[in-house]
Structure 1
């Protein structure tokens, strides 16, 4: 657990990676994407921006996030500016008229590795070819370290 003084504002940079399944056939072989996050933290609540090596070339602005700490536990919701996805051929596609689903991150501080690690999940709503609604859950893991921290 990283100790932060109550009522102080901290500016931090986190660097790490997340893993996600490439497709249903290769679910056990995840793709690794490096990222960095810049946050402002006060009283265990934080807001910030996220950029990763896969989405950075697509978006003009960084993804936004908001979350909290509770002892060693961390949780945040990440929101990209608009929908982006990989099509059936593994090519990146975007739709600026649709919102990207929220991505929920949660995990814990690991004192042995001096890093946070955990899981993420995203739920997407679709209609199948018959018009019936269904929800697809995508999940993966992540890890990051605090690479800089200063009091504002």
Structure 2
């Protein structure tokens, strides 16, 4: 198993249209990861959100990777303008993927709970998700975790 400690760059896609008329947009990010025997941590910087930092936690096992990206506040982009709301929490973004040997990168899917509505007087909830694809490749220079 390779160690993932280092700088990674990549992109993710999101459908900003409808299912009937999709508008797929791509956004870039940079991650500073450290890998402690398969346990992942670090920071990510979403370049579409004015380099807004987020915290990464997850794991890698064999060719599979899974991590959660967590912003410290609610952040979003609307028509090219970035907004942040310190009074609201951003939903966790769940990433899952596999190592692609041919392209020497990780790729997979991500999802984020958009909203949860109670269905009538029932104990059931209707959940709506944002989702898309992502990929990331390791940059050649090494990232050093502070204090190591």
- The interval holding the TM-score normalised by the smaller chain is 0.7 to 0.9
**Of the candidates 133, 139, 143, which is equivalent to residue 147 of structure 1?**
139
Once structures 1 and 2 are overlaid, which stretch shifts more, 95-104 or 24-33?
24-33
Q: Secondary structure at the match of 2:108?
A: strand
Q: Distance in 2 between matches of 1:82 and 1:125?
A: 16
**Who is 1:137 aligned against?**
129
1:66 maps onto 2:57 in alignment: yes
User: Once the two structures are superposed, what CA deviation does each residue of 1:95-138 show, in whole Å capped at 9, x if it has no partner?
Assistant: 2111100000010000111110000000123559x9x9642111
Q: Secondary structure at the match of 2:89?
A: coil
**Who is 2:50 aligned against?**
56
TM-score for both structures, normalised by structure 2: 0.80
Instruction: After TM superposition, list the pairs within 5 Å mapping 1:4-15 onto structure 2.
Output: 4=3, 11-15=5-9
The runs of 4+ residues in structure 1 deviating greater than 4 Å are 89-92, 149-152
Question: Displacement, 1:26?
Answer: 7.3
Q: Distance in 2 between matches of 1:149 and 1:56?
A: 23
Distance 1:148 1:76, change over 3 A: same
Q: Distance in 2 between matches of 1:127 and 1:17?
A: 30
- Structure 1 unaligned runs (5+)? 5-9
Distance 1:95 1:116, change over 3 A: same
8 Å CA contact 1:18, 1:33 repeated in 2: yes
**Who is 1:108 aligned against?**
98
Q: Secondary structure at the match of 1:98?
A: coil
The alignment yields a C-alpha RMSD, in angstroms, of 2.9
8 Å CA contact 2:50, 2:82 repeated in 1: no
TM-score for both structures, normalised by structure 1: 0.78
